[in-house]
Amino acid sequence: MIFDVPPALYVSERYLGAVLPEKRVFRFRPFSRFAEIERELEKADIGFFTANQIEHFPDGYFDISISVSALHEMRGNQIAHFLSRMSALTTGLVYLK
C-alpha cells in the first residue's frame, strides 16, 4: 500500500500500473470507511491512497510499515500523530528513513 500526496501518488500509480501490468491494482479513490473498500483491497497486490486515508485503516492492518523522507515535511504535532498511527497500524517492524 502506498500513501502519498496527490501529485506523487498519481505518478507512482501510473508508473507501477504500467511496469507491473500483471498486478491487481487498487486505484486511488475517496472513501470514508475502511469497510467500503476492504473486500476489493484484499484482492489487490498494490493499493494507492492519499496520506490522510491512513486514518481509515484498522489498527494492526500492516505487518511492516516504511516511511522514507516524510518526517522533515511535518510539524512536531504531525510527527507525533504520524508515529503514533504507524505504531498502531503495524504489528511488526516500522522503518523510518
pLDDT tens for residues 10-63?
Answer: 999 999 999 999 999 999 999 999 999 999 999 999 999 998 999 999 999 999
Cell of 35: 469497510
Asked if 95 and 66 count as a contact pair (C-beta separation under 8 A), the reply is yes
Joined together, the cell numbers standing for residue 96 give 523510518
Contact assessment for residue 95 and residue 67, using Cβ atoms and an 8 Å cutoff: yes
Q: Which amino acid is at 66?
A: I
**Confidence band for 73, pLDDT divided at 50, 70 and 90:** confident
Give residue-wise pLDDT tens across range 6-20: 999 999 999 999 999
Which whole-number Å values give the CA distances from 74 to 22, 31, 51, 70, in the listed order?
35, 24, 12, 7
Provide the whole-model pTM: 0.89
> For residues 43, 48, 49 and 54, what is the CA-based torsion angle, rounded to 10 degrees?
60
Mean pLDDT of the 56-72 span: 94
Cα four-point dihedral sign 41, 47, 48, 53: positive
